[in-house]
Every structure is written in structure tokens, then in C-alpha cells.
Amino acid sequence: MRKLFLIVLVLSLVTRLVQAQSFRAGAALRVITPNPLLPISGGIGTPKKATEKKGDLFVRAFVLEKGTTRIAIVSVDNLGWPSVLGNKSRALIKSVPPGNVLIGATHTHSGPDAYGFPDQSGKALADLPYLEKCVAQIAEAVEEAVKNLQPASLKVAVGEAKGKIAFNYYAADLYDPRCGVIQAIAATGVNKGKPIVTLVNYAIHPEVIGSGRGILSPDLCGPLYDKIESKTGGMAIFMNGAQGGMVTADVRREGGTEANTWEECIRIGELLGDEALRIVGTAPTLENPSVYCATRLVEFPIESDMMKYIIKNSPLGYKLTGSDKVTTQLNLLNIGPAQILTVPGEALPNIGYYVKRHMNTKFPFLFGLTNDAFGYMLTKVDFNSFKRYEYISRTSLGEMTGEIYMEQALKTVAESPKPE
């Protein structure tokens, strides 16, 4: 009898150990569409009055867990989400370590001002109560995603997205057509075999509608969510890539015209959604994949007078380190065979290609505008080198931003284990 009891006890302990070490995933979202509508910000300058909306704005949270490692990936439908806001959410989140919480912006140009852009008199028009509400909703979405954690398997794929989706406005073919997809699939329960969440990583400016038409919208990201969710039943989440200078939605038409309509948002969003599902569709299912997270603080000097003015006069209360320097969080994730690096701004495509080429994986992901959104990131040889680059150089922290990022990102890669 005693022998039988010991066998049962050992089996119970083994079962608990296996469960503790198994890969789990969970997802949750919150609607953050302001009601009444707020003015729209597409960048530096005075926000434009919103008179209607097309689709809702969201916070979307994807939580992964393996053993004692738990990570939250959050996407916010906004132009950018500064760390001064992200850190407030991290302080509210109790179930995930602050360094393991990644918060990125989709970069829609049709959402409320989240930077607190000051005008020439130093006055900012950002709605601070709305931003505080979003801060709380990010934390709520992450905590709910933790509660929704369940045993899962994984599919990872990277492939070229076909069709008329994006192009480089400065030089048409200089963009990254690769689309990375991570899909967590329920391993047990009534939804066994069905996706819990599908993450799409692609470099593009969601600015089909733009900021000057009075339409508040997630832009092409809204139809992307709808297409994937209608086909999979699970939640969709979009993380942007290296889309700086100037990778935008391909709305070109014959005769030099553009289709800047909600219908064009639907066309591009649905096409990207279909392509993402095609790319991941034939990927092998990975049981119990490994998960790893590294965090590094990176310091950037602020050389741009415009960026200094914005950071020092914004009501958000940006914190400077030393004399005219900012510090941000850089993350590296290994999720199964995928390796992910965060980018705290809009890196130019050549930076994206260079970093991806030196990552330890065949499945490289870059999460742009994640953990911060410090404007454009150029290499020193591109900075102020062409008339075409005048605007993006002016709205960059400085000449060395891209260089510092590449050095620190690849140093993090070198110090981290290879994905399994």
C-alpha cells in the first residue's frame, strides 16, 4: 500500500513539474476609442479635430509563459507610445516583471496625441485623462491575458508578403517585404487545435487615411485584425517593423493619384491578413517551445533642437539622464526558433536589414516603435546626407541614434543564447 502511495505521489509531482514547464499562452484586448472623439495627431503639429471614426482603437496583449519566464507583448493603436506612459502601465502590472513587458505602437496616423506635442508657445493639446485611462487599460489587458494562460503549441514563419501592400515613398523598392508570424495554438480544452492569438510583424506606415481628414481610425490595422479573427477565431495583434524613411502603404494609382480611403484600408489590411495566414499556414507545429527574455537599458544623446523642445516641454514628464540624454528599454526575445529585437523608434529599412542579418535565427523579427517612439533612426552616413532626408533627420534624436542602436542590439544578440 505504501509503495502504491509513493508511486502515486511521484506521478503527481512529475505531472505538476511537466505542467509547470509547459509552454502557455493567453490573450486579451481593450477598446480605447475615445468617446467623445479626440483630435487626431499624425506627428508634430496641432492635432486636427475628429468628426467621425472608422473602426475602433485597441490595446491588444499577448502573454507567453514557459517555466518561470513570463513575457507580455502589447500593441497600442496609436502613432507612438512613449516609455513615460509605458512605465506607468508596468508599475500597475503585478503578474509580469517590468522588464518583460514590451509595449509597441501600430503607428496609425489617425489616433489621439500620445506624445504631448507642444506648440511654439509651449502649450500641448494632448488629453491627459484619456492617456491615463489607456495606461490603466494596458495593465488590465495584460492581467486578463495572464488569467487566460493555457497550454499551447506554437507556429513560427517568416516569408515575403505578396501583393500591393507597401513601398518606400523615397525609393520604391527599398523596403522589407518579409512578414513574420507567430501563432499560439490551444493544446487542450474545447478549442484544442485552434489559434489563441496570431501576431503579425510587418514594416509599414498605417497612414492610408492620414491625420488631416477628421477621421479617427486604426487605419489598415483594423481590417487586418478583422480578417485574421474571422478566419481563426483567435485574437490578432500587429507589431510594426523598420518602416522609417519612408515605408508606407501602397495606395498608388495610375496617373499619380492615391486612394486614401477606408475602402483602401480594408483592401490592404485584409490582403496583409491573408498573406500572414498563408505564410504561417504550412509552418510546423512546435510542442513546448522554449522562451527567453533579455532586457538592456540604452542611452541616446538628444542632438536635435526640435526633439529637445518636444521632450522638455511635453506635459508627459519625460525623464532625462544627464545632460540632454534619454534612456530606453531594449528587449531581445527567443520564442521557439524566432528571435525578436525591439526598436525604440522608426528605423530605416537598411538598419532593419543589417540587424536581422546578424541575428541568430532564420526567423528574425523586429518590433518597431516598441518601448519608446523617438522619431526616425538613421545611420550616420544617411543622416542629413540627402535633401530627401532633411525631415527625417530633423525629427531624429541625432546622428548617432541608429549607430548606438545597432551596436547595443547586436551586443544583446551576442550575449544571449541562440533560439532553439
Q: What was the pLDDT predicted at 66?
A: 98
Residue 412 scores a pLDDT above 80? yes
The reply to whether 228 falls in a domain is no
Residue 80 scores a pLDDT above 90? yes
Q: What was the pLDDT predicted at 41?
A: 92
The reply to whether 378 falls in a domain is yes
- Of the candidates 261, 262, 251, 180, which has an alpha carbon nearest to the alpha carbon of residue 226? 262
Residue 15 banded pLDDT, cuts 50, 70, 90: very low
The reply to whether 44 falls in a domain is no
Q: What was the pLDDT predicted at 166?
A: 98
The reply to whether 227 falls in a domain is no
Residue 322 scores a pLDDT above 80? no
The reply to whether 188 falls in a domain is no
Residue 344 scores a pLDDT above 60? yes
Based on the structure, what is the number of domains in the chain? 1
Question: Which pTM was predicted?
Answer: 0.94
3-state secondary structure string across the chain: CHHHHHHHHHHHHHHHHHHHHCEEEEEEEEECCCCCCCCEECCCCCCECCCEECCCCEEEEEEEEECCEEEEEEEECCCCCCHHHHHHHHHHCCCCCHHHEEEEECCCCCECCCCCCECCCCCECCCHHHHHHHHHHHHHHHHHHHHCCEEEEEEEEEEECCCCCEEECCCCCCCCCEEEEEEEEECCCCCCCCEEEEEEEECCECCCCCCCCCEECCCCHHHHHHHHHHHHCCEEEEEECCCCCCEEECCECHHHCECCCHHHHHHHHHHHHHHHHHHHHCCCCEECCCEEEEEEEEEEECCCHHHHHHHHHCCCCCCCCCCCEEEEEEEEEEECCEEEEECCCEECHHHHHHHHHCCCCCEEEEECCECCCCEEECCCCCCCCCHHHHHHHHCECCCCHHHHHHHHHHHHHHHCCCCC
The reply to whether 47 falls in a domain is no
Residue 9 banded pLDDT, cuts 50, 70, 90: very low
Mean pLDDT along residues 38-43: 92
pLDDT tens digits along 363-394 = 999 999 999 999 999 999 999 999 999 999 99
Q: What was the pLDDT predicted at 143?
A: 98
> Residue 386: which domain range?
291-346+366-415
Residue 20 scores a pLDDT above 50? no
Residue 275 scores a pLDDT above 80? yes
The reply to whether 214 falls in a domain is no
Q: What was the pLDDT predicted at 21?
A: 54
Q: What was the pLDDT predicted at 210?
A: 92
The reply to whether 244 falls in a domain is no
Q: What was the pLDDT predicted at 122?
A: 82
Q: What was the pLDDT predicted at 121?
A: 81
**Residue 179 or residue 21, greater confidence:** 179
pLDDT tens digits along 84-139 = 999 999 999 999 999 999 999 999 999 999 999 998 888 888 999 999 999 999 99
Q: What was the pLDDT predicted at 75?
A: 98
